[in-house]
Structure 1
Amino acid sequence: MGDIEFYKLEGKELDPKELSIQNCISVKQLITDEDYLFFELIKCKKDDSGNEYLVFDVEPSIPQNPKIDIRKRERIGVKFLANEDGKPEIYALRKDFPSAPHINYSREDTPKNLCLSINLYEEEKHKWTAAKHLQRIHRWLSLTSKNKLHLDDQPLENVFFGSPDRVMLPSSFYDFKKPVDDLALEFVPIVDQKNRIVIVGLDQEVAKSYNINSDIKIKTITIDINEPIVHGIIDLQPNNLYGLHNHLKNFNINLLSRLQSRLFQANEKDLIGYKLLLVIRIPKKRTNEGEVEAYEIITFFSPRDLLEISVGLGIYRNGPRQVRSTINHTAVDNAKIIELSILNPSSILTTKEAALYNNIDSSDNIQLSAIGLGTLGSQIIINTIKAGQGRWKLIDKDKFLPHNAARHVLPSVYMGFPKSVALDAYIKRIFIEESISSPHEMDILQSDLETLSSTFSDSEYIFDFAASVAVSRRLSLDLNLEKPIISFFLNPKGDSLVLLSESDDKSIGLDCLEMEYYKSLYSVESLADHLNTEEGIRYAQSCRDISSRIPQFSVGIHSGIGSKKIIDILSKNESPQVCIWYLTDDLSVKMTDIKPSNYKVANNESWTVKVSEDLLAKIDSRRAEKLENETGGVLIGSFDHERHIVYAVDLIASPSDSDEYPTFYIRGTDGLKEQVTEIQEKTNNNLQYIGEWHSHPDGVALTPSDDDRKLFGWIKGYMKLESYPAIMVIVGEKRSNWYVSQVDNAIEFNIGS
């Protein structure tokens, strides 16, 4: 290869037969195989630590006029570590080997270290073969000669090599549209087992709120580069201030002059005792003609005192007087001895970044309210917040007790605190720069309506995790909220998650969705034992101090589903929903999606009646099937005595022993009691018998006949024993009269559109 100069690798030459490291032997065998082209072994070596080296020539595939100076024959050295656990290191041994993308950091006057993969060797070791290793070297050289190794869709190259040492900066540094003032930050240093440094930089007000006070005081000086640079080759890793200055001169940046100007403006008291963290923000583009594609933040730390650096750069202070000299040879010499360590910067997490990491659109500005911060609520809320969704009012009346930690998102350190206060504090430790939650220690059932209305007035959605019918009814019926209410709860065994969600237009209220959920429990076969209960566990002495037995893995699965549904609802909420997710024994999840019925609403002097449109359609269908005869059956529904509301949800058709004639109907009893009992058991008595219905033929008035009045008297006497109103419905062609509590005042519902 002529007069080309090569770097020499460590160690003494070794006969190939004396190699002992298996990967090294495998590569040597392949290179020396006469059928394996493009490679030629030059020598083998071994150093005093037992590491072995192969030196060989490679003939890459290069164009006639390569864009990067890769030769038709390149000499490569590969170092195999003695313990065989480490990644083989690949060196280009030609001394004038060009700077190129995808080269690892190496010291000056040492061979360039080629980067063949971004993956950790430990993750690839099980797939590593000699053939793949040599193919990657050949491919690296071939593509680099065409300047195609760094693909157009890959991120732009960094200005400098990375560093294992890290610094976390306030997110304001990453808003490249705004200048960043020089800041005195509280930096919390952390040293790991490999002596790598992690520095967490917090705004002093933020640090104060978390009682963080570090002995190490660091001041940031931020320098913005206005002209974008073209990304390119990393060929230098400066380790002192002058080296960084010299490199940035390539981009027409006079670092020492800028730094001197910033230090000159500072007060002496703001420099004493502070170390320097130099933050440089650079816009980058792919080509000279291209647009800015990215910004890069470069951070350098100096252990020197800022006042010492200031004096070294020619800024002299005498009391209030300051003198700044030009950047002379003395300043340059001083800059050469001001050590710098490059740190790998990251932004402190923001909600917008969290949404990006979760691969969803951010809804961080939408105001939400959450009621019930227990097992399910806390986990769904945290899942959703970590996805960058919403600003939350956290509402609960309870304290965080020891047993809660078994399934709650909070750890036991929060014992005794109100759940709302504790969860708010926990959230503030996720997004330490943003206030996205507020605690409200409030009892929904005991607070007055004015206070509740004021609390929810600015919320776009109200999420109810309280698992309380009383709470959901107060929200949906007493407050007249304009915004949708969405309720999540687990069944008693914790193997099912239930969602009752009002749509944005609130076309079906939460109370009616509740009725549709109850109806599904006996009409959908797979939900037959949905409300079966397990014996609870007593955690204290009060009669109500009993907690359910629900495994955390079940809560975890269902909370993930719940948070995903919230994200979907925040994006689009056009239809009311009743959904039930059931966790099977093999941990698969099955969903029952129930299309809820609309409800018609009317009232008399005593009661409001809410009737399912599906029920009206079913009554009409049963009547049509039996014409010219009359028919009937019983009504299934529920009573809200507090608010005097009757919910008519379903029917049981005419029993088989009923008498059905053109002029009269006598309802039978065959199997009726068993059907009603089954409905009550499967719905935990939330649905029950509420009254009777029968039809009149076409052309017959819907006013009660003498027989109808007798029937109503019987119903009234029967229901009086349970303190319920009598309900009788007479159905005609496309309309129905509902007699509730009184037989002479009908509530009329049309059937159909």
Structure 2
Amino acid sequence: MTFLDFGAPIAGAPDNVLRTDLSRRVYQALQKRKDFEFVAIRSLAAEKSPSDVLIVDALSDGVPSKNDLGIKYRERLALVFPHDKWQRPDVRILRKGFPVTPHQNENLDGGPRSICLTEESWELARCRWTATNYLNDILYWLERAARRELHSEDQPLEELFFLAPAELILPASWGTNAARNRLAIAHSRQTGDGRFVYFAETVEKHPAAPPADLLVIQTALVPNPMLELPPRDLGDLSEWLGERGVDLRVSIDAFLRSKFEGHTFSHAPHQRAFVLLVEIPIARDSSERAEEVRRKAFFIGQDFISVGLIMGFIDNFENTLVLNSMRKGNKLLADEWKSIRVAPIEVHHRLTAETAQSHSGHYDRLRRGVIVGLGSLGSSISMNLIRGGFADWTFIDHDHIKPHNLVRHQAFGSQVGVPKSEIMAAMANDVIEGSAAPIVQRVTESNLAEGLVEFEGKELIIDATAGVEFSLAYSRSETGSRACSVFLSPNADYSVLLGESLARDVRLSELEAQFYRALIQNKDLADFSQLPGGRIRTGGSCRDHSMVMSGADVNLHAALLSSQILRFSSNPEARIRIWKNDRETGATQCLKVQPSDARQSTTGSFTMRWDSKLEETLQSLRESDLPNETGGILIGLLDLVAQEIRIVEALPAPPDSAKSPGTFQRGLDG
């Protein structure tokens, strides 16, 4: 067997030449083990990471003697211990011809490959690191590698290259867009660690941005991809693509033909960047269909005209660039193109609704919704839903941002004076492109009736306004979309969700009446309407005031309501839920109120509305008074415009009331 030379020889006693505590501990452990043989001590003088190196032979009884990968019972390794204690110890493979397996890493120093022993961060692993466990992990890795058991079925397939020094963010629709070669680098920014992030858009969207010429190549299926060092030049890239069924010269030739078709170019230096995007179908083994398609990009060190000239595919004929009809390339420059530098770029797509939903753990998709009221609560809920992948929303609000709104609203100071619906739609579309559209309008019963606001065909209407006007108006509309109403108590201790049934046979106005009954009946809700410390004047008008309420309180309830809205939307039943937050402990208590079926009767021009629960209460009062006449107190709501009387609760008659089979006279006690 032949081995890679790694590290510089160093003379002296181990206790004198080993600089790190970990290397000394491992050296001492090696003296007591029969499954490792110590070979030599070496050192790495790397500028950023000087290290102690122990050369050893690992003798693994667990490696099958005839494993198909060719891993040996005896394997030579370099155990690397950086002098910087915050860097993880490394294990390098020294035998030439050691097979490529999962969980091996190429190294940027160009040295032997490393093996990956654990997924834990070194900050955590070092707290329980021992020399014995470290050596045992090495043997375990060799045994599992030989048995092809390193990569568990539920583990994502490995990335193809190391972390690139730059990132390219593609539009969410990239890959389905017909104009795949029309891409512009719209802008870039530098991260805190010195990496560059480039943001690409289609030329049609950013016509003023200098476009980057993009060549898209798809490779053959890559089974169980390994980590690899990125290609440094076109020669490396050509070799890598060739191993995966792609001839880079042929691809560039075809690309040049498409560029020259119907166009002429001068010999002047081309100003556009040349980007190569490689699409790589990957699977766990060669017998499977592609599990996913990964994309890797490279900035080419020359524009496509220069590349074509160097490769000999383009000729300069009387100051006009023409295609070389012989297509044989320039023999004098036969290999010069291979040295053209390439810079790897890590590729990402802008966030899509599907990706957001997957990362959020949501599986029931809510689409085509409307949020009415983009104040403090509505703005928080809207962003929670958008970030959860629930897209295609219409945001409706007539108001604009005022300075005091910034205490609780999602908006920023630079957006004061901008309509709330436009702000939230812009923020939503910045997270997921095309996820929201704004309407700056007050929703009233008249414009509902005239169809000026479109609610038909939506899956859910969310009323997050601070009043009851919309819920009452919408309850009288005959649109087919169910609605829910969410709001907070004045002191922000409570939050409430009222949700219509899918068939809309129980509507918001009826649920609101039943909610009021719960406030009357349940002593635990006695402080629901308690006002906070006061109101703050925000203007000269009598209506210009704001409740004392913190943004933290709003966000707390908004998070809970966002989750409950999603649960409600997947259930066809009507719902009344009330949550109370204990400010001392942070605990949240939920009160469930069972919605009742609606009842109504028309007398003259007035419609009287009640529900089945009220009927049961009235029936109970009547039965308890038989055979005497029954009296009591009805509590309800009167709407003279809609000519509706909504009965909420029935209370028994005062105890001093006079009752007989033929008469009833209400008393005064109580």
> TM-score, normalised to structure 1's length?
0.82
Report what 2:55 is aligned to: 55
| Native 8 Å contact 2:384 2:559 kept in 1 | yes
Residue 172 of structure 1 aligns to a residue whose secondary structure is coil
Q: More displaced, 50-59 or 78-87?
A: 50-59
State yes or no: 1:266 paired with 2:232: no
**Distance between the aligned counterparts of 1:110 and 1:501, measured in 2?**
64
Amino acid at match of 1:546: H
**Structure 1 position 42 matched with structure 2 position 35:** no
Quote the offset at 1:122 in angstroms. Answer: 3.3
SS of equivalent to 1:425? helix
Looking at structure 2, the residues matched to 164 and 124 of structure 1 have their Cα atoms a distance apart, in angstroms, of 27
3-state DSSP of counterpart to 2:308? helix
Which residue of 222, 230, 246 maps to 1:229? 222
Q: Deviation digits for residues 230-275 of structure 1, max 9, x if unmatched?
A: 3344565421112211222223321211112112221455992112
- CA-atom RMSD, angstroms? 2.5
Moved more, 149-158 or 630-639: 149-158
* CA deviation string 1:411-441 (max 9, x = no partner): 111111111222222222112xx32222211
- Determine helix, strand or coil for the equivalent of 2:307: helix
Q: Distance in 2 between matches of 1:408 and 1:500?
A: 23
Q: Secondary structure at the match of 1:55?
A: strand
Local SS of the residue matching 1:171: coil
Residues 199-225 of structure 1 deviation map (CA, whole Å, 9 limit, x = unaligned):
2222234446xxxx66x7522211123
Match of 1:326 in 2: 328
Q: Which of these residues, 555, 579, 603, is aligned with residue 581 of structure 1?
A: 579
Tell me the CA shift for residue 505 of structure 1. Answer: 0.6
Question: Structure 1 vs Structure 2: percent identity of aligned residues?
Answer: 26
- Residue 496 of structure 2 is matched in structure 1 by 498
SS in 2 for 1:43: strand
Structure 2 Cα separation of the partners of residues 659 and 273 of structure 1: 99
Structure-2 change in CA distance of 1:620 and 1:646 (3 Å): same
Contact 1:389 1:567 in 2 (8 A): no
1:189 maps to 188
Distance in 1 (CA, whole Å) between partners of 2:486 and 2:108 is 59
Partners of 1:441 and 1:549 in 2: CA distance: 27
Gaps of 5+ in 1: 672-753
SS of alignment partner, residue 239 of structure 2: helix
Q: Distance in 1 between matches of 2:229 and 2:497?
A: 58
Which residue does 1:76 correspond to in 2?
77
Distance (Å, rounded) in 2 between the aligned partners of 1:497 and 1:131: 56
The one-letter amino acid paired with 1:58 is A
SS of 1:390's equivalent?
coil
Q: 1:12 matched to which residue of 2?
A: 10
| Helix, strand or coil at the partner of 2:173 | helix
Residue 666 to residue 601, structure 1, CA distance change in 2 (3 Å): same
Greater CA drift, 313-322 or 399-408? 313-322
Q: Is 1:469 matched up with 2:468?
A: yes
Letter in 2 for 1:245: S
Does the aligned pair in 1 maintain the 2:447–2:453 contact within 8 Å?
no
Report the CA distance between 1:14 and its aligned residue: 4.3
Question: Which sits farther off after the overlay, 557-566 or 186-195?
Answer: 186-195
Distance 2:481 2:454 in 1: 13
Q: How does 1:412-431 map to 2 (within 5 A)?
A: 412-431=413-432
Name the structure 2 match of 1:29: 28
Q: Specify the SS of the correspondent of 1:503.
A: coil
The answer as to whether partners of 1:173 and 1:180 remain within 8 angstroms in 2 is: no
Q: Counterpart of 1:351? A: 353
Contact 1:354–1:387 (CA<8 Å) still a contact in 2? yes
Measure the CA separation in 1 of the matches of 2:560 and 2:488: 12
Aligned residue for 2:290? 292
TM-score with structure 2 length normalisation? 0.91
AA at the equivalent of 2:214? T
**Match among 210, 214, 218 for residue 212 of structure 2:** 218
**2:365 counterpart residue number:** 363
Shift of 1:144: 0.9
CA–CA separation in structure 1 for the residues paired with 2:144 and 2:101: 11
1:587-636 CA distance string (max 9 Å, x none):
12111111122221111113110122111112212222333333332212
Q: Specify the alignment match of 2:665 in structure 1.
A: 666
> CA–CA distance in 2 between the matches of 1:461 and 1:193?
42
SS at match of 2:24: helix
- 2-side partners of 1:519 and 1:316: how far apart? 83
Larger radius of gyration: 1
Indicate how the Cα distance of structure 1 residues 10 and 584 shifts in structure 2: closer, same or farther if over 3 A, else same: farther
SS of the residue 1:266 aligns to: helix
Whether 1:256 and 2:254 are equivalent positions in the alignment is no
Note the C-alpha offset of 1:28. 2.5
Match of 1:701 in 2: none
| Match of residue 311, structure 2, among 307, 310, 313 | 313
DSSP-derived class of the 1:137 partner: helix
CA contact (8 A) 1:608 1:646 kept: yes
**Which residue pairs with 1:610 in the alignment?**
609
Report deviation, 1:335: 2.5
Task: Map Cα deviations across residues 540-566 of structure 1 (whole Å, 9 max, x no partner).
Answer: 333222111112222112111222123
Displacement of 1:65 in angstroms is 0.8
- Structure 2: 5+ residue runs without aligned partners? none
Moved more, 510-519 or 151-160: 151-160
Q: CA deviation at 1:583?
A: 1.2
1:543-692 → structure 2 map (5 Å cutoff) = 543-570=542-569, 572-585=570-583, 586-671=585-670
Contact 1:186/1:204 (8 A) holds in 2: no
**Aligned-pair distance for 1:25?**
2.6
Moved more, 489-498 or 183-192: 183-192
The residue number in structure 1 matching 2:151 is: 150
Deviation at 1:143, TM superposition (A): 0.9
